């Protein structure tokens, strides 16, 4: 799964190819990996639709979650992802020390 995510970062589709898409910038990992309901969670700070949102990204195993977190933490700039426009990015209910 991490390989697929990293490929998405490298292969950024042009906006005209996917007119019903939204650009999401992942700025930071605030917490995680956290084991929750048979999956691993990272709490991240993202910009979506010009709003700064603290949300969650889910992974199948801890190794993928940890590698993705390291990838984000090692970068000086945000990671850009192009997602389908109907992807719902919800605010996280988790309380993180870095949020305060």
Tell whether 41 is covered by a domain.
Answer: yes
Tell whether 94 is covered by a domain.
Answer: no
Tell whether 36 is covered by a domain.
Answer: yes
Tell whether 63 is covered by a domain.
Answer: yes
Give the Å distances, CA to CA, from 60 to 6, 21, 50.
16, 25, 29
Spell 41-61 as b/e; 16+ CB within 10 A means b.
bbbbbbbbeeeeebbbbebee
How many structural domains are present in the chain? 1
Tell whether 92 is covered by a domain.
Answer: no
CA distance 91 to 100: 15
pTM of structure: 0.71
The per-residue pLDDT string of the chain (100 residues; one tens digit each, 9 = 90 and over) reads 665 555 555 545 555 555 567 888 999 999 989 998 899 999 999 988 788 889 888 899 999 999 999 999 998 899 888 877 767 777 777 766 554 4
Q: What is the domain extent for residue 74? A: 2-13+22-87
Tell whether 34 is covered by a domain.
Answer: yes
Whether 29 and 99 have beta carbons less than 8 Å apart is answered as: no
Token pair for residue 9?
Answer: 């970062």
Tell whether 50 is covered by a domain.
Answer: yes
């Amino acid at each position: 799964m991490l390989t697929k995510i990293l490929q998405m970062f490298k292969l950024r589709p042009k906006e005209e190819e996917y007119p019903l898409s939204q650009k999401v910038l992942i700025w930071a990992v605030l917490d995680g990996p956290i084991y929750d309901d048979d999956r691993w969670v990272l709490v991240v700070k993202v910009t979506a639709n010009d709003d700064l949102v603290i949300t969650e990204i889910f992974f199948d195993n801890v190794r993928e979650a940890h590698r993705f977190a390291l990838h984000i933490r090692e970068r000086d700039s945000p990671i850009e992802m192009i997602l389908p426009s109907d992807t719902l990015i919800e605010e996280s209910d988790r309380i993180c020390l870095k949020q305060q």
